[in-house]
Amino acid sequence: MSIATYDPIGVEPAPAPAPGRRNVMLVGALVATAAGAVLIGAVLGGYLSARDVAQARNQPWPADDAELPNVALFVTYIGLALSAFFAQWAHAAIKMDDRRQAYMATSFTVVLGLLFLNGMSYCWNQLGQVAGASPYATHMYAVTVTHALVVVAAIALWVVVAFRVFGGQFSPRNSEPVVAAVVIWHFAVASGLVIWWALWFVEGGPG
């Protein structure tokens, strides 16, 4: 009675699995951040250039009928700054595999982003400016609306992250999407603080 044996000679070995691509989302977030920085820099540069031209011609800047709601602006941007800590907390919670803290951090991040948009809407209404009515109004809205759209995009990304956190799809070994979302959020916060300093603090002070 013969016993069948396996002879590997002449049999092609199975190909090794292709190595997975790492940090793809992080690199994408960094590229998006760089593009966003160019965009914010362009509209902010246009604002500063228009301000220099107006001041050289002894024209009022801000416009005479513009009353800066400095307290509301300060509170609005401080709220946005605080959201950066919650975004970082969300990542730390994922790395610690603490789902409860991750729920809270992602929720607070999204809520503070929405409160920032609500605060900006109130400030625009208090300013009483109409885009196109004056160079100040046109450039002010160009900068602040562009930044608001950046925040909207960041909020949309964080809503997706929040749903995935609630679904338990992240772990200490699988947190790259959260890192990418944190990078985008920090950019939205940092650019907002630059805009607050250039448009509001320098023009009217915090009080």
For the chain, the domains span 71-204
Query: Binning pLDDT at 50, 70 and 90, where does residue 170 land?
Result: confident
If one counts every other C-beta atom within 10 angstroms of the C-beta of residue 140, the result is 26
Give the closest residue to 93 by CA, choosing from 83, 84, 103, 85.
103
Instruction: Let me know the angle formed at the C-alpha of 143 by 137 and 148, rounded to the nearest 5 degrees.
Output: 115
Domain with residues 71-204, CATH architecture:
Up-down Bundle (1.20)
- 166 or 13: whose pLDDT is higher? 166
User: What mean pLDDT value characterizes the chain?
Assistant: 85
- 16 or 170: whose pLDDT is higher? 170
Give the closest residue to 81 by CA, choosing from 169, 173, 189.
189
| Range in 10-19, 37-46, 124-133, 175-184 the model is least confident about | 10-19
**What is the model's pLDDT at position 25?**
81
Whole-model pTM: value is: 0.83
CA distance 148 to 36: 12
| Range in 52-56, 60-64, 105-109, 135-139 the model is least confident about | 60-64
Of the ranges 14-23, 26-35, 144-153, the best mean pLDDT one:
144-153
